[in-house]
Amino acid sequence: MYAAHRLTHAQAAKLAGLERLEFDRERGLREIPVHYTTEDWKDDLEAGLSDQ
């Protein structure tokens, strides 16, 4: 879902049951590029997920 740009970084990490750094490690191992936009950040702030 993250690779298809359907979930933000924080949403994907939460869905996977991982901390954000753990999610980044797994994302890197799978060679999935980062796609965290300003809009994603704003969405995370509104959802209260920015501190995870």
Going by pLDDT thresholds of 50, 70 and 90, the confidence category of residue 34 is: confident
- The reported pTM is 0.62
Cβ neighbours for 19, distance < 8 A, ≥ 6 positions apart: 13, 52
- The arithmetic mean of pLDDT across residues 23-39, rounded, is 89
Share of residues in the chain with pLDDT > 90 (%): 38
pLDDT exceeds cutoff 60 at 50: no
